């Protein structure tokens, strides 16, 4: 296993605001191995999305470097697909078309680096992605005609359909009801095992972090947030949520995260 597939070294992120410079992240150092599943957890506003955006190449750090597969991250790339908190679908396209345009960009004629797939193959990929998230029946609907949870599932399907090497997810299941969330978490585990994807996921949910990940990166409160502790989860795969619920190891990891978040990083509400 390549233990440094994603390498983050000495990263600072400072934002210019009307009130002056705001130091969001300070001295972030993190290595993610190929095929590893990493969860970023921390209180609201600590900088989880800021870190994910840096890995996605959507923003550049103020200081330090980010490397993916041996190359400096200089912008977004098809090998790093992002699922956002707020789905970001194109409202004038159907669910099918929203996924198809991504699939076409990666596997179709517009990609000069790889042999082009036929339209039938691209459509089959799109259909499979929709089926995976249970949205076959909504294929021809537009985002305005479906629920927030369904939109989020289209966003997940779109990212997965591109078979990215790295899947970056910003609270992808946050808007879903508990049962749909559990179903998609289980499916994600199966897909990631099959595709050997590397995943970095932002979450607020302690159980989600322990169930899905190999490593939980726990962030301190901002401003100038940094990595407080990294917890490695030695839980066998495939993981079964029912069996794990009573496992002493699972409960121990869960307690360690809760202890970090609520005892050592007790949330202090900012004055308005």
Ligand X SMILES: Nc1ncnc2c1ncn2[C@@H]1O[C@H](COP(=O)(O)OP(=O)(O)OP(=O)(O)O)[C@@H](O)[C@H]1O
- With respect to ligand X, which residue has the nearer C-beta, 42 or 57? 42
- With respect to ligand X, which residue has the nearer C-beta, 24 or 157? 24
Determine which residue in the list 6, 24, 68, 176 makes contact with ligand X, applying CB under 6 A: 24
Helices (H) and strands (E) in the chain, counts: 8, 10
- With respect to ligand X, which residue has the nearer C-beta, 49 or 94? 49
Least distance between ligand X and beta carbon 215 (Å): 18
Angstrom distances, CA of residue 52 to CA of 6, 80, 218: 12, 11, 14
Least distance between ligand X and beta carbon 230 (Å): 17
Least distance between ligand X and beta carbon 223 (Å): 7
Q: Quickly tell me which residue has 């997810």 as its tokens.
A: 169
Q: Is the dihedral of CA 207, 212, 214, 216 positive or negative?
A: negative
- Specify the stretch interacting with ligand X by CB under 6 A; choose among 16-24, 69-77, 150-158, 242-250: 16-24
Least distance between ligand X and beta carbon 243 (Å): 30
Strands 71-72 and 80-83, sheet pairing: unpaired
Q: Does 17 bind ligand X (CB under 6 A)?
A: yes
- With respect to ligand X, which residue has the nearer C-beta, 44 or 263? 44
Give the contact letters, 37-66, x = binds to ligand X (CB under 6 A), - = no: -----x-xxxxxxx----------------
Least distance between ligand X and beta carbon 121 (Å): 37
As given in the structure block, the two tokens for residue 156 are 């997940």
**DSSP helix/strand/coil, 149:** helix
Least distance between ligand X and beta carbon 202 (Å): 6
Check: CB of residue 78 under 8 Å from CB of residue 16.
no
- With respect to ligand X, which residue has the nearer C-beta, 40 or 162? 40
Determine which residue in the list 4, 12, 14, 22 makes contact with ligand X, applying CB under 6 A: 22
- Dmax of the chain from CA atoms? 57
Angstrom distances, CA of residue 113 to CA of 102, 107, 219: 15, 9, 38
Give the contact letters, 200-239, x = binds to ligand X (CB under 6 A), - = no: ----------------------x-----------------
Non-local (6+) Cβ contacts of 239 within 8 A are 189, 211, 212
**Percentages (nearest 5) of helix, strand, coil residues in the chain:** 40, 25, 40
Binding site for ligand X (CB under 6 A): 15, 17, 22, 24, 42, 44-50, 222
């Amino acid at each position: 296993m390549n233990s440094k597939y994603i390498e983050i070294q000495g990263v600072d992120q400072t934002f210019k605001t009307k009130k002056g410079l705001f130091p969001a992240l300070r001295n972030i150092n993190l290595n993610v191995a190929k095929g590893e599943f990493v969860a970023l957890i921390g209180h609201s506003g600590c900088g989880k999305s800021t870190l994910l955006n840096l890995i996605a190449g959507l923003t550049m750090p103020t200081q330090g470097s980010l490397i993916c597969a041996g190359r400096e991250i200089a912008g977004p790339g098809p090998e790093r697909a992002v699922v956002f908190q707020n789905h970001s679908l194109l409202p004038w396209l159907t669910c099918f078309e929203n996924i198809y345009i991504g699939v076409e960009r990666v596997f179709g004629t517009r990609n000069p680096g790889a042999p082009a797939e036929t339209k039938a193959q691209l459509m089959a990929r799109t259909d499979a992605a929709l089926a995976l998230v249970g949205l076959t029946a909504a294929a021809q609907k537009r985002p305005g005609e479906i629920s927030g949870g369904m939109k989020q599932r289209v966003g997940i399907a779109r990212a997965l359909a591109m078979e990215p090497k790295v899947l970056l997810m910003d609270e992808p299941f946050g808007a879903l009801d508990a049962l749909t969330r559990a179903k998609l978490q289980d499916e994600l585990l199966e897909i990631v095992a099959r595709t050997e994807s590397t995943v970095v996921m932002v979450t607020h949910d302690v159980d989600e972090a322990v169930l899905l990940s190999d490593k939980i990166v726990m962030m301190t409160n901002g401003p100038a947030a940094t990595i407080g502790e990294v917890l490695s989860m030695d839980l066998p795969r495939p993981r079964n949520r029912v069996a794990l619920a009573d496992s002493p190891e699972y409960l121990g990891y869960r307690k360690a995260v809760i202890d970090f978040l609520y005892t050592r990083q007790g949330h202090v509400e900012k004055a308005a």
